[in-house]
Amino acid sequence: MNVMCRGWDRRKVKTMRKNILLSLLSLYAFLVFFSAAPSMHAQDTGKTGEVRFTADNQDERDAGVWIDGKYAGYVKELKGDRKVMLPAGEHEISIRQAGFKELMKKVVVDPEQPQTVAVVLEENPTLTFPGADAAELRLDIRPKRAAVFMDEHYMGHGSDFGGRFHSMLVTPGKHILKVTQDGYEPYEMEIDPTAKTKTAMVINLKPSDKPAAQ
């Protein structure tokens, strides 16, 4: 009789241990899900908040803006109909301008409170500028808000380099010209201007369903 009781006790203890282990595992899974729930909720709410930009001078107002790696436009146009509305949560903003260091900022978008990014650029002393023998490149680009790159360096937006009083100065020799805009096929070509020459180019980006890859 005592032997049977000890056997029954061992089975009962094993069952209790198993039940306790399962309960602990269930509790652990619940805690993991609960701790992740707030961040998941922030991504799934569908709520958006506004990001605004301030700048004190023309170079900063004409600087290009990238949000999470995607070109958004230039600073002074990102308002009104083109105001920046982003999903709630953290986003990375990059601001570039020719002759200046890239400005990187992280913002946490709150649907209840607009976030303001102050654009204050620092000159890049390592960059060199074309000399007296520079070639002049005048670009008629459509759309005019497209981003323009020379040798992978951001130079400005399309309207910076067209018309009677706008152009780009480049050193003589081979360069890679690239123009990108979300919703259009990127344009890229090699140019080889000679010293003190003037060249005019018309660049019309073709619409595309794919985002620009810059």
Per-residue pLDDT tens digits of the chain, which is 214 residues long: 434 444 435 555 455 555 655 555 554 544 443 343 333 233 445 799 999 999 999 999 999 999 999 999 999 999 999 999 999 999 999 999 999 999 999 999 999 999 999 999 999 988 778 889 999 999 999 999 999 999 999 999 999 998 777 899 999 999 999 999 989 999 999 999 999 999 999 999 999 876 554 5
Burial (0-12, 13-18, 19+ Cβ within 10 Å), 144: middle
Q: What is the pLDDT of residue 126?
A: 82
Residue 192: helix, strand or coil by DSSP? coil
Amino acid at 126: T
Q: Which helix (H) or strand (E) holds 95?
A: strand 89-96
Residue 38: helix, strand or coil by DSSP? helix
Q: What is the pLDDT of residue 24?
A: 54
Of 8, 147, 144, 123, nearest to 66 by C-alpha is 147
Q: What is the pLDDT of residue 135?
A: 95
**What pTM did the predictor assign?**
0.71
Q: What is the pLDDT of residue 202?
A: 96
- Give the whole-angstrom CA distance, residue 113 versus residue 87: 13
Q: What is the pLDDT of residue 5?
A: 40
Q: What is the pLDDT of residue 125?
A: 87
Of 149, 152, 127, nearest to 139 by C-alpha is 149
Q: What is the pLDDT of residue 163?
A: 76
Q: What is the pLDDT of residue 129?
A: 80
Distance of CA 113 to the CA centre of its chain: 21
Query: How many Cα neighbours within 13 Å face the side chain of 188?
Result: 9
Q: What is the pLDDT of residue 164?
A: 75
Q: What is the pLDDT of residue 211?
A: 55
